[in-house]
Amino acid sequence: MKTLLPLLVLLSCNVLANDLPEHIAVCADCHGDKGISSESDVPTIAGASDVFISDSLFAYREGERIAVESKYRHGDTSRPATDMQKIAKELSEEQIADIAGYFSQQKFIAAKQSFDPGLAAQGEKIHTIKCAKCHEDGGSSADDDAGILAGQWTPYMKQAFKLYRSGERVMIDKMKVKMEQLDDQEVEALLHYYASQQ
């Protein structure tokens, strides 16, 4: 019986993972188990609001949001690389609601990563002045429907900032104004501040 117990536990975990509908399971193949990413260029989506997740998926589906090609990180990693526009185009409204509902109910876990405390302190001041109106609680609130910035992977955030500042990623007017006011040093400080919130 003792030798069977670990096997039974392993099998039960696999059954639970396989119980997820395919349109949710495929998200975890890049974003990680329950949406907690272990890959620094892929954002954690666990704990984000259902509004933020569904709005993001609809933006990808309609081609309004740029998508970066990525390989699968889990599951069958031999599948060809894909991107969020291709994935979202295959989703129905009901599936998008399912995905948003599932991942919004998961707990966000901050990425463990290095940061510069001095830059993080500068970034906190910049965030308070320029970002806190929409990204509440230091960027950690899901309730503002603006995505969770605090504890998000820095390489992903760096890429997102680059796309926003180049105009390749669409943003609302008030965010566009704020982005245009940030210089490179301020962006770097903000990245360290968000990374510091572990």
- C-alpha 84: how far from its chain's center? 12
**Residue 13 marked as a ligand binder:** no
Residue pLDDT, tens place only, 43-83: 999 999 999 999 999 999 999 999 999 999 999 999 999 99
What CATH number should be reported for the domain holding residue 138?
A: 1.10.760.10
Same domain, yes or no: 176 and 122: yes
Residue 192 annotated as part of some ligand binding site: no
Domain end, chosen from 45, 73, 104, is at: 104
**Of 82, 189, 183, 103, nearest to 148 (Cα)?**
103
**31 has binding-site annotation:** yes
- Is there a binding annotation on residue 157? no
Question: What is the phi/psi pair of residue 70, to 5°?
Answer: -145, 150
The total number of structural domains that make up the chain: 2
Place of tokens 């955030």: 157
pLDDT tens digit sequence for 82-98: 999 999 999 999 999 99
Distance CA 160, CA 42 (A): 11
